[in-house]
């Protein structure tokens, strides 16, 4: 490496003496290293004469390639240094949904403000999708509803939110301030195939088990916005968390399920082998924001 740097200097200054001065070394050191380099390569890089130094044709091609290689190496070193600080990298993030003003939306916006050099690649999917993609290194982290104990992955509860039922405004229960699970036993629940749909399905079955017949559950292949519109049209009800109530969908009302044992937890899942500084920065920020989030945040 030293010989390559010295060869670049000699080509620039066309003088062993001035190249040595620029590099802070002796002329004899530069001369001997260049000579050894030429012997290793089997070509003459520089013609020496009493009038100075001239770069040979072979020397010019060699110097051009070395300059290109040095540029690549310099960029690689700078990139590695920036990534060590969590900058100039990409984070692949799995989510269950992303709505304006929700916790995830605020988290990603604040993270981007603090880390403008980190690109965020967002993928929406189910909890199972997220776990598999993290395991296969196709995602750096996945945010999903509920708590998770996964032997080969790390998991941390980040925030919690109150469970709500979405009803059309003309529904008989819409005039109440809240509802209980038993009041929903005869309802038709609409549950998405994607996002948190599978977990919503499991929660409905769990809450009715041994108490009353399991309500009718219809799986729908729609996005969140379309599902809200279908509910508003009177085709069924579904479960969301309180921050969803900010959506202000016409002809729709959200009521808290008061006998739900606790607020719904939302967790981050990531691989213990992933030590990307940008990921650690995101998890740290998420934990900090989760601690300061109001118990029931309807923003």
End position of a domain, from candidates 83, 100, 121 = 83
Strands 141-145 and 52-55: unpaired
Residue 275 is predicted with a pLDDT of 87
Longest dimension (CA), the chain: 104
Residues 90 and 77 in one domain: no
Query: For residues 288 and 299, what is the distance between their CA atoms, to the nearest angstrom?
Result: 18
* pTM for the model: 0.64
Residue 23 is predicted with a pLDDT of 86
How does pLDDT run across 54-101, given as a tens digit for each residue? Answer: 999 998 999 888 887 876 776 556 556 555 554 557 899 999 877 777
Q: Determine, yes or no, domain membership for 299.
A: no
Residues 21 and 56 in one domain: yes
Tokens of 227: 């599902």
Query: For residues 197 and 226, what is the distance between their CA atoms, to the nearest angstrom?
Result: 14
Query: For residues 122 and 161, what is the distance between their CA atoms, to the nearest angstrom?
Result: 22
Residue 221 sits in a domain whose CATH number is 3.40.190.10
Confidence of residue 296 (pLDDT cuts 50, 70, 90): very low
CB 192 within 8 A of CB 199: no
Strands (DSSP E) contained in 20-117 are 46-49, 52-55, 89-95
Confidence of residue 248 (pLDDT cuts 50, 70, 90): low
Residue 70 is predicted with a pLDDT of 76
Residue 89 is predicted with a pLDDT of 79
Confidence of residue 140 (pLDDT cuts 50, 70, 90): very high
Which element (helix H / strand E) includes 240? strand 238-241
Residue 50 sits in a domain whose CATH number is 1.10.10.10
Residues 170 and 235 in one domain: yes
Residue 145 is predicted with a pLDDT of 87
Question: Mean pLDDT, to the nearest integer, of 160-176?
Answer: 94
Q: Which of 70, 82, 68 is nearest to 115 (CA)?
A: 82
Query: For residues 4 and 70, what is the distance between their CA atoms, to the nearest angstrom?
Result: 9
Backbone angles phi, psi at 239, to 5 degrees: -110, 140
Is the pLDDT reported for residue 155 higher than 90? yes
CB 203 within 8 A of CB 196: no
How does pLDDT run across 97-106, given as a tens digit for each residue? Answer: 777 778 999 9
How does pLDDT run across 202-218, given as a tens digit for each residue? Answer: 999 999 998 988 999 99
Is the pLDDT reported for residue 17 higher than 80? yes
Q: Determine, yes or no, domain membership for 132.
A: yes
Residue 193 is predicted with a pLDDT of 87
Domain count, the chain: 3
Residues 21 and 65 in one domain: yes
Q: How many of the other CB atoms lie within 10 Å of CB of 28?
A: 10
- Which range has highest mean pLDDT (43-57, 99-113, 158-172)? 158-172
Tokens of 114: 């603090």
For residue 18, the enclosing domain spans 1-83
């Amino acid at each position: 490496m030293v010989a390559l740097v010295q060869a670049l200097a000699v080509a620039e200054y066309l003088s062993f003496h001035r190249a040595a001065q620029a590099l802070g070394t002796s002329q004899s050191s530069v001369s001997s290293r260049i000579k050894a380099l030429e012997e290793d390569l089997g070509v003459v890089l520089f013609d020496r004469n009493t009038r100075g130094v001239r770069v040979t044709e072979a020397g010019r091609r060699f110097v051009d390639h070395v300059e290109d290689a040095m540029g690549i190496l310099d960029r690689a070193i700078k990139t590695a240094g920036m990534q060590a600080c969590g900058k100039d990298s990409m984070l692949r993030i799995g989510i269950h949904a992303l709505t304006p003003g929700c916790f995830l939306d605020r988290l990603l916006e604040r993270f981007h403000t603090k880390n403008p050099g980190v690109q965020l690649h967002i993928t929406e999917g189910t909890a199972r999708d997220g776990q598999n993609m993290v395991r296969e290194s196709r995602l750096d982290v996945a945010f999903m509803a509920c708590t998770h104990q996964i032997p080969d992955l790390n998991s941390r509860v980040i925030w919690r939110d109150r469970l709500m039922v979405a009803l059309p405004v003309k529904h008989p229960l819409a005039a109440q301030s809240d509802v209980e699970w038993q009041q929903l036993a005869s309802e038709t629940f609409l549950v998405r195939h994607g996002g948190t749909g599978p977990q919503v399905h499991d929660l409905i079955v769990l809450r009715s088990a041994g108490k009353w017949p399991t309500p009718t559950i219809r799986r729908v292949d729609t996005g969140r916005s379309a599902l809200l519109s279908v509910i508003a049209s009177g085709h069924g009800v579904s479960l969301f968390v309180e921050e969803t109530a900010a959506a202000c969908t016409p002809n729709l009302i959200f009521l808290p399920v008061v006998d739900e044992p606790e607020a719904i937890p939302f967790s981050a899942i990531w691989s213990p082998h992933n030590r990307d500084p940008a990921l650690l920065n995101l998890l740290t920020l998420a934990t900090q924001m989760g601690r300061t989030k109001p118990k029931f945040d309807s923003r």
